[in-house]
Amino acid sequence: MTTPGPSTDPILDRITAAVGAHRVDGDPRHRDTLVDLWAEITSGGDPFHRCVLAHYIADMVDDPAQALMWDVRALDAADVLDDSRAQAHHVSLQVAAFYPSLHLNIADNLRRLGSFDAAADHLDAARARAGALAGALADLGPEQSGYVEMMTTLIDDIGVLIRDRSSEARSTHPA
């Protein structure tokens, strides 16, 4: 196994640094750093950067309406992203692997906002695309099987909350 060399993607390095720092101390300044970076790359920028950046910002906000806005931006960017651009980051990465999480996050935010029918639609989309996860992540290594299991569990858990018409925040919500 080889150790990855230095990154050649300064935007992704900045995203990774801010997300890592936020995970350590939870300081909202790191989210602000990412929002400023969003303004730099603009809505017409690299779709891989936009998808990753918006996805992480959504995880850093408590307000479900704000998180929904960022999650929709991430989904919109994924829709114009192709595997070749994603594979410039990691040779085995497939855009199909992004969709279950993106739809699940949108479903959870819609649920928290009380829009249960729309939440159910996105949950169905997450469930339909979850089958592609194992194949899309197979080349990334055995540790990814835990991610597939986690996604399956989250889809089931959020499905129960939607069925029960619960808009309560989950205790495991990333923010």
Tens-digit pLDDT profile for residues 8-20: 889 999 999 999 9
Spatial contact of 107 and 158, defined as CB atoms under 8 Å apart: yes
d(Cα 107, Cα 69) in Å, to the nearest integer? 12
d(Cα 126, Cα 58) in Å, to the nearest integer? 17
67 pLDDT above the threshold of 90: yes
- Looking at the chain, the whole-number percentage of residues with pLDDT higher than 90 is 66
| Predicted local distance difference test score (pLDDT) of residue 172 | 65
Q: Tell me: the pLDDT tens digits for 86-139?
A: 878 777 778 888 999 999 999 999 999 999 999 999 999 999 998 877 666 655
- Residue appearing with tokens 């835990």: 146
Phi-psi sector, 170: left (phi>0), alpha (psi -120 to 50), beta: beta
Q: What is the pTM of this model?
A: 0.86
- Looking at the chain, the whole-number percentage of residues with pLDDT higher than 70 is 87
pLDDT band per the 50, 70, 90 thresholds, residue 149: confident
d(Cα 127, Cα 151) in Å, to the nearest integer? 9
